[in-house]
């Protein structure tokens, strides 16, 4: 762990749990700010900056934190407008992640926002799409079998008819939570979220999903603050443990929570995670620090490197042939015009990958990415 990473963890502990922290006098606070940006936790960390920082350092952090704060407020306000439209058109919904995670934060607007995820029932999906289209939300041409992306005023709205991933089917639990959606009011903003157990399951599954391609401290903190708000030993034993086990998420929940206790300041009163092996917690934290939010650190190494990392991860996750076929159908325009070529899409993609790789002026050695992916795969296997 670098000095900047250690200092960032100290800031998070101090900000969220008021822990006493010592900072080295030679801490490079510009490097810590860079790390905070890569992990999308500037707003949280900035609140705990020590008084010993110079005026210039404090100014740089304040600017970055204000930019994140203003953008978050903008998202909350757009969401208010959006949800008013759904209410006027009788479309039941729940918010996934985003504000449904931020509500657990001591300062909700300090959580960085990426987009607005809304889940409606499959029966209401077409109606919800029509409501968005009629009110100026433009569909974005992104192919996804879980949602349709809409854009307005530089905000992306992901309208979901399902939350589950290809290799993690949570629909039984999520859809059962829709009729029991809870009304939430945060700093004057009202929205509906899944009941606590199902909402926690979404946050855990989101962390699990991005472990494959790039997970950052923001996803880990989302989970941690849900645990802090709800998941004591009683709830874990009574309900959450069996649900997490059913969906193969129990080990991830235990290790992630213990990692938060060891490194992020989460109080150790949740005894249900005590069985987590310390080396596995260290490996999880190392993976998160190496990745950055949504794999942002890999993205900094070059667009091609980031794409290669995603491809390798998906091949381990879904299998080589399925990835080649899926990507080939998406990228081969001739196949889209002539459906009879669809069975050969995997072959097109098999040729396309090496051509793109060697054409890039910034490509890195493929062997280093393969080794990194092997380490990630080992972690995922240990998390079951």
- Residue 113: HSE in the Cβ half-sphere, 13 Å Cα cutoff: 30
- Which residue in 248, 270, 214 sits closest to 382, CA to CA? 248
| 255-267 per-position pLDDT tens digit | 999 999 999 999 9
Q: How confident is the model at residue 322 (pLDDT cuts 50, 70, 90)?
A: confident
Task: Write out pLDDT tens, residues 28-46.
Answer: 999 999 999 999 999 999 9
Classify strands 116-119 and 94-96 as parallel, antiparallel or unpaired: antiparallel
| Percent residues over pLDDT 70 in the chain | 87
Please, which residues bridge with residue 70 across strands?
none
Burial of 371 (0-12, 13-18, 19+ CB in 10 A): exposed
The Cα–Cα gap between 164 and 248 comes to 13
Question: Sorting pLDDT into bands at 50, 70 and 90, what band is 214?
Answer: confident
What would you measure as the largest C-alpha separation in the chain, in angstroms?
Answer: 68
- Total residues found in the chain within this entry: 384
What lies within 8 Å, CB to CB, of 162 at 6+ separation is: 122, 145, 146, 147, 171, 174
What is the C-alpha separation between 168 and 173, in angstroms, rounded?
A: 12
Cα–Cα dist 230/52, whole Å: 36
What integer pLDDT is reported at residue 72 of this predicted model?
Answer: 95
Q: For 208-235, what is the mean pLDDT? A: 93
Summarised one tens digit per residue, pLDDT across range 233-255 is: 999 999 999 999 999 999 999 99
Burial of 131 (0-12, 13-18, 19+ CB in 10 A): buried
Phi, psi of 364 (to 5 degrees): -100, 170
Q: How much is the pLDDT for 339?
A: 78
Phi first, then psi: what are they for 306, rounded to 5°? -65, -45
State the average pLDDT for the chain.
87
**Structural Rg of the chain based on CA atoms:** 21
Lowest mean pLDDT among 119-123, 209-213, 327-331, 378-382: 327-331
What is the tens place of the pLDDT at every residue in 280-311?
Answer: 999 999 999 988 877 777 655 555 555 666 66
pLDDT exceeds 80 at position 360: no
Place of tokens 């905070």: 36
For tokens 């159908």, the residue is 329
Q: Which has the minimum average pLDDT: 53-57, 151-155, 238-242, 296-300? A: 296-300
Please give the helix or strand (H or E) that residue 16 lies within, else none.
helix 3-17
341 and 335 Cβ atoms separated by less than 8 Å: yes
- In the numeric block, the tokens 């939570």 are attached to 177
pTM summary value: 0.84
If you average pLDDT over residues 159-175, what whole number do you get?
Answer: 88
pLDDT tens digits, residue range 60-107? 999 999 999 999 999 999 999 999 999 999 999 999 999 999 999 999
Is 70 exceeded by the pLDDT of residue 347?
A: yes
pLDDT band per the 50, 70, 90 thresholds, residue 332: confident
Q: What is the pLDDT of residue 255?
A: 97
Mean pLDDT for the stretch of residues 355-374: 60
**Residue 383 structure tokens:** 């998390």
Domains of the chain: 3-53 (no CATH), 70-194 (3.30.460.40), 196-295 (no CATH), 301-382 (no CATH)
Return the pLDDT at 36: 96
The reported pLDDT for the residue numbered 230 is: 97
């Amino acid at each position: 762990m670098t000095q900047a990473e250690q200092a960032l963890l100290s800031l998070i502990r101090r900000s969220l749990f008021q822990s006493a922290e010592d900072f080295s006098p030679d801490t490079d606070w510009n490097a810590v700010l860079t790390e905070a940006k890569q992990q999308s936790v500037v707003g949280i960390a900035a609140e705990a900056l020590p008084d010993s920082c110079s005026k210039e350092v404090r100014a740089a952090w304040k600017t970055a934190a204000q930019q994140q704060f203003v953008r978050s407020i903008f998202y909350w306000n757009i969401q208010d407008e959006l949800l008013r439209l759904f209410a006027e058109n009788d479309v039941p919904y729940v918010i996934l992640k985003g504000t449904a995670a931020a509500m657990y934060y001591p300062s909700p607007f300090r959580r960085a926002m990426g987009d607005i995820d809304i889940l409606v029932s499959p029966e209401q999906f077409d109606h919800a799409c029509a409501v968005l289209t009629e009110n100026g939300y433009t569909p974005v041409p992104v192919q996804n079998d879980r949602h349709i992306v809409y854009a307005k005023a530089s905000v992306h709205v992901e309208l979901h008819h399902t939350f589950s991933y290809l290799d993690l089917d949570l629909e039984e639990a999520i859809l059962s939570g829709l009729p029991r959606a809870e009304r939430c009011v945060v700093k004057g903003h009202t929205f509906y979220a899944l009941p606590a157990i199902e909402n926690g399951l979404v946050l855990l599954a989101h962390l699990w999903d991005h472990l494959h391609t790039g997970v950052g401290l923001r996803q880990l903190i989302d989970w941690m603050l849900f645990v802090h708000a709800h998941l004591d030993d009683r709830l874990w034993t009574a309900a959450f443990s069996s649900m997490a086990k059913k969906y193969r998420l129990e080990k991830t929940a235990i290790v992630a929570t213990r990692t938060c206790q060891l490194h992020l300041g989460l109080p150790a009163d949740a005894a249900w995670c005590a069985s987590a092996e310390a080396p596995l917690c260290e490996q999880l934290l190392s993976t998160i620090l190496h990745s950055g939010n949504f794999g942002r650190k890999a993205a900094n190494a070059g667009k091609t490197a980031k794409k290669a990392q995603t491809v390798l991860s998906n091949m381990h996750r879904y299998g080589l042939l399925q990835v080649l076929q899926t990507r080939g159908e998406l990228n081969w325009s001739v196949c889209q015009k002539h459906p009879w070529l669809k069975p050969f899409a995997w072959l097109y993609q098999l040729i396309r990958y090496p051509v793109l790789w060697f054409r890039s002026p910034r490509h890195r050695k493929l062997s280093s990415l393969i080794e990194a992916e092997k380490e990630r795969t080992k972690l995922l296997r240990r998390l079951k």
